[in-house]
Amino acid sequence: MNTFNRYLIHFGIIGLVVFIIFFTLIMIDGGKLVNPLFLSVIVLLDLFFVFFMTLFFYVVAKPSSITFTVKDRRGLINELSEVASKKWKRNNKVETKETCSFKFGNKYKDWLTTPIDFIFEEEKCTVIVPSYYQEDVLRINKKLRE
């Protein structure tokens, strides 16, 4: 499932809960205190919330791929571990011989968000990261090159 669909499901459920709450209030009230016009405005705002929040988070979390050469693989992983735990709040590191992934460790967050993957091939590293974190990876790479 792609990122857009995951965010659409997430924010759609939030919007559905808001709609159910207001619909229940109208049913209990009978339309005396809560005007049906008010409900239609709330539903419209709810739909805008779902649509625009889905688009915003999709753009921020869209995966981008960066490839660069790396000489000190262990140094890169150590720097990334520090940034991943402090800034990105991803404390679960899964490291194999050729890859390194950073995840939240929470099943729902891991399902909802784009994973951060580092794939090592000899002296080349390919990074698949949400576009929002792209600058951090480039900054770490620049720091290690100096």
Q: Please name which of 54, 44, 59 lies closest in space to residue 13, comparing C-alpha atoms.
A: 54
Structural domain boundaries of the chain? 3-60, 63-145
Residue 131: its pLDDT value, please? 87
pLDDT tens-digit series, residues 92-117 = 999 998 999 999 989 998 888 888 99
CA atoms within 13 A on the CB side of 65: 5
Residue 63's Cα: distance from chain center in Å?
10
For residues 40 and 77, the model is more confident at 77
DSSP 8-class letter at 33:
S
Residue 86: its pLDDT value, please? 92
Helix (H) or strand (E) holding 70: none
Please, are residues 65 and 83 in contact by the beta-carbon 8 Å criterion? Answer: no
What is the arithmetic mean of pLDDT over 74-97?
Answer: 91
pLDDT tens-digit series, residues 45-57 = 989 999 999 999 8
pLDDT tens-digit series, residues 2-45 = 878 888 999 999 989 988 888 887 788 776 766 778 778 888 99
Q: In sequence order, what E strands does 6-143 have?
A: 63-69, 92-95, 99-103, 116-121, 124-130
Q: Please name which of 17, 3, 2, 25 lies closest in space to residue 49, comparing C-alpha atoms.
A: 17
For 63-145, the fitting CATH number among 3.40.630, 3.30.310, 3.40.1350, 3.30.420 is 3.30.310
pTM for this model (two decimals): 0.74
For residues 109 and 98, give the distance between their C-alpha atoms in angstroms, rounded to a whole number: 24
Place of tokens 């869209």: 62
> Residues near 49 by Cβ (< 8 Å), separated by ≥ 6?
11, 14, 15, 18
Torsion (CA) 102, 106, 111, 114 in degrees, nearest 10:
-30
